[in-house]
Structure 1
Amino acid sequence: MFDRLEAWSIAFADAVWGLPMVALLLGGGGFFLIVSRAMPYRYLGHAFAVMSGRYDTPDEEGELSHFQALAAALSNTMGLGNIAGVALAIVAGGPGAVFWMWISAIVGIATKFFTCSLGVMYRGVDSAGNLQGGPMYVIREALPRSFYPLAVLFSVAGLIGTLPMFQANQLTALVGQTVFDGAPPAWSGLATGLVLAVLVGVVIFGGLPRVAKVAVRSLPAMVVVYVTMTLYVVLTHITEVPALLWLIVSEAFNPSAVGGGFVGIMLIGVSRGVFSNEAGVGTEVMAHGAAKTNEPIREGMVATLGPIFDTLLICTCTALVILLAGEWQSPGNLSGITLTANAVQSEMGTPGLLALAFVALILSTTTMFTGWYFGAKCFGFLAGAQWQPYFRWFFISAVIFGASVSVDVVFNLISGSYGLMALPTMVSTLILAPRVMDAARDYFSRLQSQK
C-alpha cells in the first residue's frame, strides 16, 4: 500500500512542478519586479521600520501586529523545508539547485509584496462575520464570480498543503538519528507522533494569538543558534568557500549536471525554494491578512522580508553546511534531515547534533502551529466557519500519520499541493497587480510627504 502511495505522490508532484508552474512563479515574480520598478527592494529599509513596530496601529482592524504577522508567516515558511528540503534539493539536483532556490527567493520578494498587499486590500468576511484574509477571499472579493472556482481550488489544496505531515516525519527521523543512533525501533515513529500531537494540540486550542506569541518568542533564538552553527562550519572551511560558491553558480547552468541537466536543476531548485519561502503559494497572504492595519502596502512591505530571512539566510546556512561537509557526494540511504544531521555531526560532533535537534524542534513545531491556522481558514471557507473547530482533530491525526510514513510520500504530497495553491494565487495577483501599483504609488507619495 505504502509503495503505491509513494509512486502516486511522486507522479503527482512531478505533474504539478513542470515547466509551466516554474514559468508562472519565476515569470510572474519577474513581472512584479519590473512593473513595480523594483519598489519593494528600494523600500526595504521602510519594511524593517514597520516590522519594528514604528507604524503599529492597534486600534485598526485585524488580529496581529506587523511583527506578529511576519512571525506567524515565518513560522510556517521557516520550517523543516529549510533543513530537510534543502538536503533533498541538493541530493536530487546537486549544488546548482541552491542557485535556483536563491533566484526563487529574490523574485519572491516582489511576489510577496503584491500577494500580501492584496491580502489586506481585499479582506472578506467569513460565514461567522469575522474578517479574514487569504487568496480565496481576494478572489471572491475582487474578481468576477466566474473566478470563484479558483478560490475553491486554493482552499482544497490548502487543506492538504498546510498539514503537518512533513514536519512530523522529519522530526521523527531526527529523533531516530539523535536518540537511537540512526536505527530507531519500529515503535518510535508512532511514539514521537503521539507526543507531537499532544504538543500541537495544547497550542492550537489556544487559537491564533497563542500561535503568534509562541512564534515571536521562539524564532529569534532559533535563528541565532542556527546562524552561529553555520558560521562555525564556514570559518573552519573558509578557504573552500569561494570555490564552493562558484560550484553552486556553475552547476546551475551545467547541461550535464546531476538532476536532469539545466532544466531539471531549475525545476528542482525552484520547487524546493518555493516550498521553503512560499512566495506566490498564498499561505503568507493568510498570515499577513490578519495584520492590524488599514494600509495594505505597509503590510505588503513587511511580507517582503520573509524570503530574505527564510531562503537567503536559513536555507543558505543549511546548504553551506551540507556542501562544505561533503556529505552530498555520497548520501547513501541518508535523505532529508538525516543528511543534514550527518553533515552537522561530522563537523561539530554531538554538540552540533543536539543544537540541530533544538533548531528542528522549534522549526517543526512552530510550522505545525501555524499550519493549523491556515488549514482551518481553508476549511472554514469551504464548509463554513462554524465547522472550523473540528478541523483541529483532523490536523492532530495528520501529525501521527506523517510520523509513520516515508519522507517521499509526505514531501511530494505537500509539495504538489503547494503548486496547486500557487496557481490561483499567482493568476489572481497578476490580474490585480495594477490595483496594487495604484495603492503603492499613493502610499509612498504620502510617506515621502511626511518626511
Structure 2
Amino acid sequence: MGNIIVEFSNWIWGTPILILLLGGGTYFFIHSGFVPFRKMGHAIGLLKGKYDHELAPGQITSRQALSAAIASTVGLGNISGVAIALNMGGPGAIFWMWVAAFVGMATKFYTCSLAIMYRGKDSRGNIQGGPMYVIEEGMGKKWKFLSYIFSIAGVIGLLAIFQANQLTAVTQAVLLEPDTLEETVRNRWVIGIIMMLLTAMVILGGLKRIAAVASKMVPFMVGVYFATVLIIVVQYLGDIPSIFKLILVDAFTGNAVMGGAVGSVIIVGARRAAFSNEAGIGTAPMVHGQSQNDEPIREGLIAMLGPFIDTVVVCTLTALAILLTGVWQSTENDGVKLTLAAFEIGIPVVGKYLLMLSVLVFALSTMFTYSYYGHKCTNYLFGADKADYYNYFYLITIVIGAVASLEVVVSLVDGMYAVMAFPNMIAAIYLAPKVKVAMKDYFKRMNARS
C-alpha cells in the first residue's frame, strides 16, 4: 500500500501539475498587472485594520484569517520541507521555490478574492467560503463534481500526519534519544497521544478559537525562528554570497541531482513550495472566505502576503542555515533531522532546543488550522450536522502520523494536494476575468479617496 501511495504521488506531480501551478500562477501574475509587486505596500497597510468592517458577513477579521492561513503554512514545511527539497533537488530547488512563491502570491490574490466574491451557504444556512463554493456559485451546478473532488481530497490531504511525524522525530532526537527500536516505537505512540490531546483542546472550540490562538502564535513563532537562524547566519556572513551563487547556478544546471536534470530540480522546488505555502492548492481561500470583509480584492491583497512570508522569508532562513553549515553534504539525515543537524553546528548545546521550540509551535499551529480545513470539506460533503465527527477522525490520525513512515506520509499528503489543485486552479482561471473587473473597480475607488 505504501508503495502505491508513493508511486501515485510521483506520477501526479509530473508535468501537468507543474504547468498548472507555475503556468497558472504566471498567468495570474501577468493578468493582474504584476499586483504582487505593485500593491505590496497597500496590502501591508490593509493589515492595520483601517478598513475592517465588523458588520460585514463572516466570522473573523482579515488579519485573523491571514494569521490562520500562515499558521497552516508557516510550519514544518518550512523546516523539514526545505530540508527535503535540498535532499531531493539540491540548492537549486530553493530558487524554484522562490519563483513558485512569487507566482503563488498572484494565485492567492485571485483565489482568495474569489472566496469572498462567491460565498455559499452550508446545510445550516451559515455563510461559507472556499473553492468548493466558488465552483458551485461562480461556475454553476454543472461543475459541482469539481467541488466534490476538491473536498474528498481535502478530507485526506489536510490531515496533520506530516506535522505529527516530524514533531515526533525531532522530539525523539532532542529530548528522548531512545536506545532500542522498542523504546522508539513506544515513545512515538506516547508523543502522538500527547499531540492529539493538545490539538483537541483548541480545535473542538471551532474556527474562532483556532483563529484567536493562531493570531497569537504566528508572530511569536516567526520571531523566535528568525532570531535563531540569524544567530547562525551571522557566523557565516562571508559565505552568504557564495551560497546564493550556488543556489542560482544549481537552479539552471541541476548539478546536485543525479544526471544534472534541471527539470527534476524545478519539480522538487515547485512541489515543496506548494506544500510550504499552499498557493493554488485551495486551503487559504477556505479561511479567507470567512473574513468579515465585503471587498473581495481587499481580501485577496491581504492573502497574497502569505506566500511571501512563508516561502521567501521563512524557507530562505532554513535553507541558509542548512547550506551555510554544510550539513546538506556531510550528513545522511533527512527531513527535520537535517535542519536539526544545522542548528546543532550553528548554535552548539542550545541550538537543538531552540529548534525544538520552533518545531513545537509551528507543528501545533498547523495542526489547529488544518483541522478547520478538513472540517469544512466534510461539511460540504456530508452536511453541517455531521462535520463535527471529522474532528475526532482527525485527532486519531495524529497518532497514526506519529508512528508512520516519513516517505509514505509525505507522498500521501503531496498526492492529495495535487488532486485539490486541479479543481481550485480550473475555477480560478475560469473566473479570472471577474477578478480583473473587480480589481479595476476597487483601485479606481481607492484612488478617488486619496
Q: 1:324 maps to which residue?
A: 324
Residue in 2 that maps onto 1:406? 405
1:94–1:259 contact (8 Å) kept in structure 2: no
Q: Distance in 2 between matches of 1:344 and 1:256?
A: 26
Once the two structures are superposed, residues 38-62 of structure 1 have per-residue CA deviations (whole angstroms, 9 ceiling, x without a partner) of 1242111111111121111111100
Q: Is the 8 A contact 1:93 1:259 kept in 2?
A: no
Aligned to 1:227: 226
Q: Any idea what SS the aligned residue of 1:185 has?
A: helix
When the two chains are superposed, the root-mean-square deviation of aligned CA atoms in Å is 1.1
Counterparts in 2 of 1:62 and 1:277: CA distance versus 1, 3 Å: same
- Equivalent pair of 2:91/2:256 in contact (CA under 8 Å): no
- What is the aligned-residue identity percentage? 43
SS in structure 1 at match of 2:58: coil
Count of matched residue positions in the alignment of Structure 1 and Structure 2: 446
Match of 2:311 in 1: 311
Partner in structure 2 of residue 266 of structure 1: 266
Shift in Å at residue 346 of structure 1? 1.3
What is the rounded CA distance, in whole Å, between the counterparts of 2:10 and 2:29 in structure 1?
28
Question: 2:133: which partner in 1?
Answer: 137
Q: Match of 2:184, SS?
A: coil
TM-score (norm. length: structure 1): 0.97
Q: Report the counterpart of residue 446 of structure 2 in structure 1.
A: 447
Structure 2 distance, partners of 1:176, 1:350, is 16
**Contact residue 259 and residue 265 of structure 1 kept, 8 A:** no
Query: Does residue 383 in structure 1 map to residue 382 in structure 2?
Result: yes
Report whether the alignment pairs 1:105 with 2:101: yes
Please list, as runs of the form range in 1=range in 2, the aligned pairs for 1:70-219 lying within 5 A after superposition. 70-181=66-177, 185-219=184-218
SS at match of 1:281: coil
Structure 2 counterpart of 1:346, which letter?
I
Give the counterpart letter for 1:360 in structure 2.
V
8 A Cα contact 1:158 1:375, kept in partner: yes
Distance 2:148 2:220 in 1: 38
* Structure 1 unaligned spans of 5+: none
CA-CA distance at 1:255 after TM superposition: 4.6
1:267-290 CA-to-partner distances (Å, cap 9, x unmatched) read: 001000010000010001001101
* Matching residue of 2:250: 251
The Cα of 1:10 is off from its aligned counterpart by 1.4
Counterparts of 2:139 and 2:319 in 1: how far apart (Å)? 41
Q: Which runs of 4+ in 1 moved over 3 A?
A: 181-184
Task: Tell me how far apart the structure 2 counterparts of residues 138 and 30 of structure 1 sit (CA, whole Å).
Answer: 21
After superposing the two structures, state which structure 1 stretch, 39-48 or 130-139, moved more. Answer: 39-48
Once residues 204 and 144 of structure 1 are traced to their aligned partners in structure 2, the CA distance between those partners, rounded to angstroms, is: 32
Paired residue type of 1:270 = A
Match of 1:343 in 2: 342
Question: What do residues 312-367 of structure 1 show as CA deviations (whole Å, max 9, x unaligned)?
Answer: 011001100011111111332x1100110111011102311111111111110010
* AA matched with 2:306: G
* CA distance, structure 1, for counterparts of residue 416 and residue 349 of structure 2: 36
Deviation at 1:256, TM superposition (A): 4.5
Deviations 1:137-190 (A, max 9, x none): 000001132211111110011111110100000000001110123756320100
Task: State the alpha-carbon separation in 2 of the partners of residues 55 and 358 from structure 1.
Answer: 35
**Conserved? CA contact 1:92–1:259, under 8 Å:** no
What SS is found at the alignment partner of 1:253?
helix
Deviation string for 1:372-417 (max 9, x for gaps)? 1000000110111110111111000010000011111111110111
More divergent stretch after superposition (219-228 vs 294-303): 219-228
Aligned residue runs from structure 1 range 429-448, under 5 A = 429-448=428-447
Shift of residue 419 of structure 1?
0.8
In 2, Cα distance between equivalents of 1:27 and 1:450 = 36
Q: CA deviation at 1:259?
A: 5.5
Asked if structure 1 preserves the Cα contact closer than 8 Å seen for 2:36 and 2:102, the reply is no
Distance 1:167 1:255, change over 3 A: closer
Q: Which amino acid aligns with 1:384?
A: G
Q: Is the contact between residue 90 and residue 254 of structure 2 (CA under 8 Å) also seen in structure 1?
A: no
The aligned counterpart of 1:54 is: 50
User: Are residues 143 and 236 of structure 1, via their aligned partners in 2, closer, same or farther at CA, if it must alter by over 3 Å?
Assistant: same
Rounded Cα–Cα distance in structure 1 between residues aligned with 2:270 and 2:75: 17
* CA distance in structure 2 between the partners assigned to 1:313 and 1:64 by the alignment: 26
Q: Is the Cα contact below 8 Å between 1:196 and 1:399 reproduced in 2? A: yes
Shifted more, 437-446 versus 10-19: the winner is 10-19
SS at match of 1:29: helix
Q: Provide the rounded CA distance (Å) in 1 between the counterparts of 2:204 and 2:142.
A: 36
**Of 11, 14, 22, which residue of structure 2 is paired with 1:15?**
11
Question: Which 5+ residue runs of structure 2 have no aligned equivalent?
Answer: none
Partner residue in 2 for 1:279: 279
8 Å contact kept, 1:17–1:267: yes
**SS state at 1:129 partner:** coil
Q: Distance in 2 between matches of 1:318 and 1:257?
A: 18
- Name 1:358's counterpart in structure 2: 357
CA offset at residue 209 of structure 1? 0.7
- SS in structure 2 at match of 1:58: coil
Asked whether the equivalents of residues 49 and 55 of structure 1 are also in contact (C-alpha less than 8 Å), the reply is no
Measure, in 2, the Cα distance between the counterparts of 1:70 and 1:388. Answer: 23
Distance 2:150 2:131 in 1: 7
